[in-house]
Structure formats: structure tokens, C-alpha cells
Homo-oligomer: A and B are copies of this chain.
Amino acid sequence: MTYCVGMLLDQGLVFLSDSRTNAGVDHINTFRKMTVWEKPGERVLVLLTAGNLAVSQAVVNLLGERVADDDGHCSLVNAPNLFEAATCVGEAVREVHRRDAAALKEFGVDFNTTLILGGQIAGEVPRLFSIYAAGNFIEASRDTPYFQIGESKYGKPILDRVINPATSLDEGAKCALISMDSTIRSNLSVGLPLDLLYYRRDEFRVARHVSIGSDDAYFAMIRKRWGAELRRVFQDLPNPDWQTATD
């Protein structure tokens, strides 16, 4: 499995992805799930992928090829706005579906892929989209400022409690890492290294792209202190007094 999260904040965008892929627990590999298209001063687009790895890679490759060609296909480097870019990604998903879905079905494999596309193109504000296997998509808003794909449930409660549009990029990254830590602890199929990317609004270049391995001091601190503090808060909360009452 996979766990990825993208956030649309007033200050910009935060993206975090793990890199574990598996086909059964004895077959675990590391593949990056974050792809970046950047034209400094003009656009930054970040794509996160989850689901069947062959499908995701085919989509990313198709999108990469279309950067170069000039045959009327939309491409991420030429799309005039983020909506068109999301449409491009959706079309690429549909093309891979046309090519591969029937063959996958013969082997009992579902065509499943979900993607997050976010970024900013000059002339627009930053935008964030969640794209489904059918090629359709939805856009994040101030009410729903984040999207998750993959193994998303373990890490959702902390996002729901903390993230809102006013959250800073640093706090967004911190929250994404805590959400990832909760997921990794509860699900073997999500694992290090992580890719963390910050995009600061109106900069039109990647602010920071960090690869986080098991030796990363900040993530190690987050993992240790968050768990310890959680247990301390838990201890400090009063116990229920129902038990002490008699029936």
C-alpha cells in the first residue's frame, strides 16, 4: 500500500508520500510516489500516486512523454491552468485504462489508481485536486483543505483535528509527518523513506524537497515525542468514575 497526503494552505502547499509498495508482505519494494514538474517562475506541479504500481507508473510515464510531443495532447508543462492539468492527468489515467484494464481483469487484478495533483501556474492561486481511477476529479476548498490517498484512515484523525487553511507550511509538514507516523505504526505496508515537499505560494519554484529516511533526526524526534506526549496526556486525563460507583 501507500500513504500520501497533500494540503492546500494559505501559505502554499505541502505534500508527503511514503515509498513502500508491496504485493504480499514477502514482496516489499521502495518506489517513489511523488513526481514534480517545475518551470521556475512559471509553474510547479506535484503529482502523488497510489494504487497499482504498474498503472501509476504508466500514467506518470505517459504524462512525461507528453511534455515533449506536440500532437495536440494536453501536457502538464503547457496546461494553461491547474484544472486543465488535472484533466490531462485524468486523460492519461483513461488511456492506461483502455490499454491495460482488460488484461488486468483476466488476471483478477482491479484497475485501481488514485492521484493527488497540486501546484500553481502563473495567473492562478495554488490549487489541489484528487483524481480517481475513472479519470474524474474533485478540487480541495477551504472547507476541505487536504486530500489523502492510499491507506488513509489511520492518519486522518490528527489531520481533522489540526489542519485548516491558516495552518502554516511548517505546521502542515509537522502534522503530515505525525499522520504518517500513525499510519506506519498501524500498517506494515507503509514505510520509509518519505518524500516531503513544500511549495510557498507565488514563488513558482519548489521551496524544499526533503527525503526522510530512518536516520532523519527531525522525524525520529517527532515519532518519539509525539508518542510519549500522547501517552502522557492520556495518563493525565481523569479516569472514568463509573467503575467506582456500585451497581
Contact = CB atoms under 8 A, between A and B. Distances in A.
Interface of A: 153-158, 160-162, 168-171, 173-175, 177-178, 182-183, 185-186, 196, 198, 207-208, 210, 218, 221-222, 225-227, 229-231, 233-234, 236-243, 245, 247
A72 B242 CA distance: 40
Contacts of A245: 208
Contacts of A196: 242
Given A207-B243, A210-B242, 16 more contacts: A153-B154, A153-B186, A154-B157, A157-B186, A161-B185, A162-B234, A170-B243, A173-B239, A173-B243, A174-B240, A198-B243, A218-B238, A218-B242, A221-B238, A230-B233, A233-B233
A170 B233 contact: no
Contact of A237 (B153, B198, B222): B222
Contacts of A156: 154, 186
Contacts of A229: 233, 236-237
A186 B163 CA distance: 13
A157 B185 CA distance: 7
Q: Which of A174, A218, A233, A240 has the most CB of B within 10 A?
A: A240
A42 B97 CA distance: 61
Given A153-B154, A186-B160, A231-B162, A171 B222 contact: no
A178 B234 contact: yes
B234 A218 contact: no
Contacts of A170: 239-240, 243
